[in-house]
């Protein structure tokens, strides 16, 4: 029996929310220009998560980031918060929702490639095979719709560009994944949303009716805000490539919803579904264990006192777990099943 890792559950829930958002956003494309639509989606995410953080912390508590971490976060906001959603909305003007959903498989591929090639994250054959099965399923799903694309390639290229922006965002966000997930997601939503909405209004675009604004911001809160919080939590426990692999189920979810909403699909649908299920199963059942060394490390994140967190407290602790505070890890050598999470970024 498979015991589902909480980080895996977070990644799959993130995929579900994001996947459902694409066909729903397609319904709004005709009413709102892409730049303004992308801005409102992320502004809704920022406002909703900001309020959640205020309620949780009973006020706006500060978060400490060093200058290097601020750089990664701001670059992630520009790439994934400002450019990514606008490019997707541009693509949705000419591409079917089901086709656009399936093209988002490219995000998982690019995320993993960047993680492996640029950021040197470890992978293995099982993960690669699972990724290949998921992507092959996406390709099969997209084949019947190719002939429905307009001769103009701007739409498909825009969707592919959005995938690249989010792949960069995913890898940059990993650099600050130990920081409060609500802070990361709300900051990205507020900054990107305000900037894109302001640019849209400066360019002469007009806000839609209040009911459309509310629907758009609500969709942004679920499909981009809550999804991002869950994605950050998954990054902590799985690393970038594996989180991206689970997140690659989002296109299938989006395509299935588009089908339920009346869009047609081709004969490869169920074959592709089977391939994607095989890919997810390969990742769910992955085990990775060997003798490894933990170098001394000091950071802050939410944790419980497991084998990696055997430390004293410099304050009076009431025994509540999980909790968050700055703590130090001493050198440790042991063997156990693990992922390339925030404590296991070692070489092999």
Q: Does residue 47 have a pLDDT over 80?
A: yes
Amino acid 287: pLDDT: 62
β-strand partners of 289:
337
What would the pLDDT profile of 207-220 be if each residue is shown by its tens digit?
999 999 999 999 99
Specify the pTM: 0.73
Distances (CA, A) of 230 to 16, 76, 168, 214, 223: 11, 16, 18, 23, 11
Q: Is residue 294 helix, strand or coil?
A: strand
Helix (H) or strand (E) holding 133: helix 125-142
Q: Are 169 and 79 in contact (CB under 8 A)?
A: yes
Q: Is residue 226 helix, strand or coil?
A: helix
Q: Does residue 276 have a pLDDT over 70?
A: yes
Amino acid 1: pLDDT: 44
What would the pLDDT profile of 70-115 be if each residue is shown by its tens digit?
888 899 999 999 999 999 999 898 888 877 887 787 787 777 778 7
144/17: higher pLDDT = 17
Tell me how crowded residue 18 is: count the other CB atoms within 10 A of its CB: 27
Q: Does residue 145 have a pLDDT over 60?
A: no
Q: Does residue 137 have a pLDDT over 90?
A: no
Q: Are 26 and 103 in contact (CB under 8 A)?
A: no
What span, in angstroms and rounded, lies between the C-alpha atoms of 124 and 127? 6
What would the pLDDT profile of 154-176 be if each residue is shown by its tens digit?
888 898 899 999 989 988 887 88
Amino acid 149: pLDDT: 45
Helix (H) or strand (E) holding 166: helix 154-174
Amino acid 233: pLDDT: 85
Report angle CA 18, 6, 43 to the nearest 5 degrees: 30
3-state secondary structure 304-338: CCCCCCCCCCCCCCCCCCCEEEEEEECCEEEEEEC
Amino acid 150: pLDDT: 46
Cis amide prior to 322 (ω within 30 degrees): yes
Helix (H) or strand (E) holding 297: strand 297-303
């Amino acid at each position: 029996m498979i015991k589902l890792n909480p980080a895996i559950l977070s990644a799959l829930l993130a995929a579900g929310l994001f996947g459902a958002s694409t066909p729903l956003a397609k319904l709004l494309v005709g009413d709102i220009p892409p730049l303004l639509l992308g801005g409102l989606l992320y502004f809704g995410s920022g406002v909703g998560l900001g309020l959640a953080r205020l309620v949780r912390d009973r006020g706006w508590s500060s978060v400490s980031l060093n200058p290097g971490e601020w750089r990664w976060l701001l670059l992630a906001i520009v790439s994934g918060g400002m450019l990514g959603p606008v490019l997707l909305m541009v693509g949705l003007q000419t591409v079917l929702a089901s086709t656009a959903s399936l093209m988002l498989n490219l995000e998982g591929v690019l995320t993993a490639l960047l993680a492996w090639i640029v950021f040197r994250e470890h992978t293995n054959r099982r993960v690669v095979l699972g990724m290949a099965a998921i992507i092959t399923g996406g390709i099969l799903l997209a084949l019947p719709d190719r002939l429905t694309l307009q001769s103009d390639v701007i739409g498909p290229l825009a969707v592919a560009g959005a995938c690249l922006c989010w792949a960069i965002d995913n890898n940059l966000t990993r650099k600050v994944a130990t920081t409060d997930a609500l802070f990361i997601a709300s900051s990205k939503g507020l900054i990107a949303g305000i900037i894109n909405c302001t640019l849209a209004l400066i360019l002469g675009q007009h806000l839609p009716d209040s009911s459309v604004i509310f629907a758009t911001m609500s969709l942004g809160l679920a499909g981009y805000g809550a999804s991002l919080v869950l994605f950050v939590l998954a990054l902590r426990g799985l690393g970038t490539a594996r989180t991206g692999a689970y997140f690659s189920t989002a296109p299938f979810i989006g395509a299935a919803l588009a089908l339920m909403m009346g869009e047609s699909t081709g004969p490869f649908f169920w074959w592709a579904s089977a391939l994607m299920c095989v890919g997810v199963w390969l990742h769910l059942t992955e085990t990775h264990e060997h003798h490894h060394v933990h170098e001394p490390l000091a950071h802050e994140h939410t944790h419980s006192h497991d084998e990696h967190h055997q430390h004293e407290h410099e304050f009076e602790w009431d025994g509540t777990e999980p909790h968050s505070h700055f703590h130090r890890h001493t050198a440790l050598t042991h063997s156990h099943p693990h992922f390339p999470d925030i404590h296991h970024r070692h070489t092999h």
